[in-house]
Amino acid sequence: MTIDTPAAQSALPHPHVSLAKILTSYLQVGMTAFGLSILLKLKATVLDNRWLTEEEVNEGLALVQLYPGPIMVDFTAYVGYKLRGVPGALMATLGFIFPSFVLILVLSALYFAAGNLPWVRPLFIGLEALVVGILFNVVLEMGNRNIQNRTQAVIALLAFIALLFKVSAILIIFAALAAGAWLLRPPAKSSAAAGARSNQKFAQTPTSRWVAIAVVLAVILGVVWFSWSLHSDLGDLALSLFKIGAVAFGSGMAILPLIQTEVVDSHQWVTTTQFADGIALGQITPGPFLITAAFLGYKLGGIFGATLATFAIFSPSFVMTLLFTEVFVRLHGLQAVRGALSGVLAAFVGLLAMVLLQIGEVGLVSAATFSLAAGAFVAVRWFKIDVPWVFLGGLALWAGLLVIGVI
């Protein structure tokens, strides 16, 4: 009897899916998926079309947590790569990102054009209070998932304290990776299981795929060099986002602390208030949350800046997805890798708590804003209302109270 291992299943032939079908399918997801529903829609797209087996889908979701980058975007690239190689990964990723990119461009243009109007600022005070309430829920959820023992709690606390004292967020991440690999590695699996892994036969990767991956890497390095050659704030922003995209693990929310330390604390490209507003705009658009990077790029360089910033934040993990998809079955069982991931995710809880504290200082300025933040927290925590609806409903309520003069 033959048992299909994950490696063997991954080697099975996939149905031929046209690049146009991949692009249009992910455009649909990118236009309609918000918040927690994104993962459900991404999985349904793959399974309903029978593009991959459920085993391969689960393998992909495990894979994208082992290296830096936004998980949902990387999972999208993984599916496209499994179906049609590098062209498939490009079509899937572009389709998923493009709708939110267009929307954030429109919203950014309106924001920076109308931000100084006297009636706009009071509206965004309410929006920032909503961000605080939703971020508070995210911190609690991340804590529940990623702080399971005393060591993880200590790592989270030390990360919070280190960021409080202006230690580089990048250094904190590397320290957490090392601490996790040393202190949090799971128990070694049985020798029988290890022997089974060693006896797996891995499919040979065609040379054409390695060449295509090399071309992608060369393009990314070329854009890095171009960003450096600009010798401008926009170029420096792009370099910062390339760096963050290459080292930051987890969801978009988990990556926020690293972005804030660069764009607000270190370089003052935007204020804390503008950063909070960018988070809100990123939340009310469908698709990947880190499209907030386009908001930051638009601030410094218009449409070109938004495009460069978006490429910078997503491209490092895109090429990592291509590489790790080829080597995943050889690495996913390493205890040190699992431990390092546990350590860095615990650190992100502490880092995000610091972001919450800083945004709370600018967003909670009155009893009314505290009440609005509390209402947003209750809505997402206990009533499970989707985040975009919390923003839209909360902002409508806030606007109504402003009109009648209650606040």
Let me know if residue 191 belongs to a domain.
Answer: yes
pLDDT tens, the chain, 407 aa long: 334 444 444 444 577 899 999 999 999 999 988 766 787 789 889 999 999 998 888 888 878 877 888 889 999 999 999 999 999 999 999 999 999 999 999 999 999 988 666 667 788 888 889 989 988 998 998 899 899 999 999 999 999 999 999 898 889 988 998 999 999 987 765 444 444 444 445 557 788 889 999 999 999 999 999 999 999 999 999 999 999 999 887 777 778 889 999 999 999 999 999 999 999 888 888 888 889 999 999 999 999 999 999 999 999 999 999 998 888 655 655 678 778 888 988 998 998 899 899 889 888 989 999 999 999 999 999 998 888 889 889 989 999 998 888 87
**Within a 10 A sphere around the Cβ of 312, how many other Cβ atoms?**
25
Q: What local confidence, expressed as pLDDT, does residue 331 receive? A: 61
Let me know if residue 217 belongs to a domain.
Answer: yes
Q: What local confidence, expressed as pLDDT, does residue 248 receive? A: 83
Let me know if residue 40 belongs to a domain.
Answer: no
Task: Name the residue among 202, 194, 153, 132 with its Cα closest to residue 355.
Answer: 132
Let me know if residue 31 belongs to a domain.
Answer: no
Let me know if residue 33 belongs to a domain.
Answer: no
| Burial (Cβ within 10 Å: 0-12, 13-18, ≥19) of residue 14 | middle
Q: Residue 343 belongs to what domain range?
A: 122-403
Task: Mention every residue, 6+ apart, whose C-beta is less than 8 A from residue 145.
Answer: 345
Let me know if residue 385 belongs to a domain.
Answer: yes
Task: Name the residue among 245, 226, 246, 205 with its Cα closest to residue 86.
Answer: 205
Identify each DSSP E strand in 159-203 by its residue range: none
Let me know if residue 3 belongs to a domain.
Answer: no
Q: What local confidence, expressed as pLDDT, does residue 267 receive? A: 94
3 state DSSP class of 196: helix
Scanning 13-149, the segments in alpha helix (DSSP H) are 19-32, 37-48, 54-63, 71-114, 120-146
Phi/psi region, residue 188 (left: phi>0; alpha: psi -120 to 50; beta: rest), is beta
Q: How many domains does the chain have?
A: 1
pTM value is: 0.82
Let me know if residue 396 belongs to a domain.
Answer: yes
Task: Name the residue among 129, 180, 182 with its Cα closest to residue 159.
Answer: 180
